[in-house]
Structure 1
C-alpha cells in the first residue's frame, strides 16, 4: 500500500484560508483519483479545511503544535511542515504501507502512482525525475525533463522503513531536526550513500503548481522554460493529474 502524507498550513499563517482550502481540495481529489484503491491519504493539519470532497481513504490528523520559534519566516514554515510530515509518516504505520509519499498541499499527482507501487512492493523507492510545472490559470503546462525532485517537494516515494524516524520522535524541536523530511532534493543522495538507492520514476509523476499566492518560497524565474517544453493543458493531462481550473 502507498500512503500519501499531506501537511497543510494553518489558517493563522495563510494569506487566504479559502484559497488554501480550494488548492488543497484539488490536491486531495488528485490523490484520490488513483487507478488502484490500494492507497490511503493522511492530511496533517491544525484545522480541517472546509471542503465538499470526501473519500473513505482520507484520514485527517489534527495537531496542536505551537508556533515555531525560528526567527526566519521560511524556517518557521519549514519547521511546521517538518513536524506535520513526521507526525503523518509515523501515523501511517497503522496502514502497514509498503511505501509513503509526502505531497505538498497545492500540487497534483499522477493517478498511476498507486498501481505502479503495487506492482513493485519491494523497491527502495523512487524520486520523480520528470514532472510538470504549471502556473495557475494558464492554458499551458511545462515539462521538466529532469531534476524535478530538486524543484518540488512532491517528489519522493520511499519504502516505509527508509523514512529514518528518530527514536523517540519529538515535535518541539527546531528546523534542523526535521531536515530529512523537508530537504526533498537531498533524500536521493542520502539514501545512495547508505546503499539504499532509489530509482527515477519511469513516468512524469506530479505537477508543481506555481502562482498560487500561498507559497512559502516562490521564484517566478522557475517558469523560465523553453517553448520546446511547453504543452497545451489538454484533457489527457488534466485527467491524469486531476488538474482543473480554480
Structure 2
C-alpha cells in the first residue's frame, strides 16, 4: 500500500488561508484520484480546512506544535513546521502497514497512476520523480521539466517505508536539523544511495509543481526557467490525469 503524507501550513502562517484552502482542495482531489484503491492519505495540519470534498481513504491529524520561534528566519520556521508535520504523518502511517510512502506538498497535483504503479512494483527501494510538470495557476499552458524535477519540487520521492529514517522516539519540538531528511527532498536520493539503497527514476511524469502561488516555501517565478521548447498546451488528458482544474481565483 502507498500512503501519501500531506503537511498543511496553519492559517497563522498563511498569507491567504482562503487561497491555501483552495489549493489544498485541488491537491487532495488529485491525490484521491488514483486508479488503484490500495492507498491512504494522511493530512497533518494545525486546523482542518473547510472544504466540501471528503474521501474514505483520507485521514486528518490536527496538531498543536508550537511555532519554531528559535529558527533564524521565516524560511527556516516554515520548513521546521513542515518537517514536524511530515514526521508526524509518517509515524501515523504505521497504522496502515504501508509498503511505501510519498510526501506531497499541499498545493501540488500528482498522477492518478502512482498507487497502481507502486502496487505492481514492490521489488524496489523506491522512486524519485525525474520528469514532471510545472504550472502557474490559470494558465492554459504547462511546462515539462524533463530532468531533475526532484530537485525543484517537494512532491517527488516515493520511499519504501522502512527507508524513512524514522526515530524510535520522535520529537516534535526540535529545530530544523532534526527534520532535515524529511525537508531536504532533493538530497534524499543521494543520502539513501550512500547506504546502498538506490532509488529508481519513476518511468513517467509523476507530479505537477504549482508555482508562484504566493504561498510557496521554495521558489517564485524568478527562480524558475521557462523555455518555449518545454511549453505545451494544457490538454484534457493532462488535466484529467492530474485532476488539474482551474481555481477561478
Scaled to the shorter chain, the TM-score interval is over 0.9
Q: Could you list the runs of 5+ residues in structure 2 that have no partner in the other structure?
A: none
Q: Counterparts of 1:1-246 in structure 2 under 5 Å?
A: 1-69=1-69, 70-246=71-247
Give the superposed CA RMSD. 0.8
Deviates more, 1:178-187 or 1:219-228: 219-228
Partners of 1:160 and 1:218 in 2: how far apart? Answer: 28
Poorly superposed stretches of 4+, deviation over 3 Å: none
User: Structure 1 length as normaliser, TM-score?
Assistant: 0.98
Question: Secondary structure at the residue paired with 1:239?
Answer: helix
Report Cα offsets for 1:199-232 as digits up to 9, x if no partner: 0000000000012121123331344222111010
Q: CA deviation at 1:72?
A: 1.1
Q: CA deviation at 1:136?
A: 1.0
Q: CA deviation at 1:181?
A: 0.2
- Contact 1:98 / 1:122 at 8 angstroms: preserved in 2? no
Question: Secondary structure at the residue paired with 1:44?
Answer: strand
User: Structure 2 length as normaliser, TM-score?
Assistant: 0.97
Partners of 1:21 and 1:36 in 2: how far apart? Answer: 26
Aligned length: 246
Question: Secondary structure at the residue paired with 1:24?
Answer: helix
Partners of 1:95 and 1:47 in 2: how far apart? Answer: 23
Q: Could you list the runs of 5+ residues in structure 1 that have no partner in the other structure?
A: none
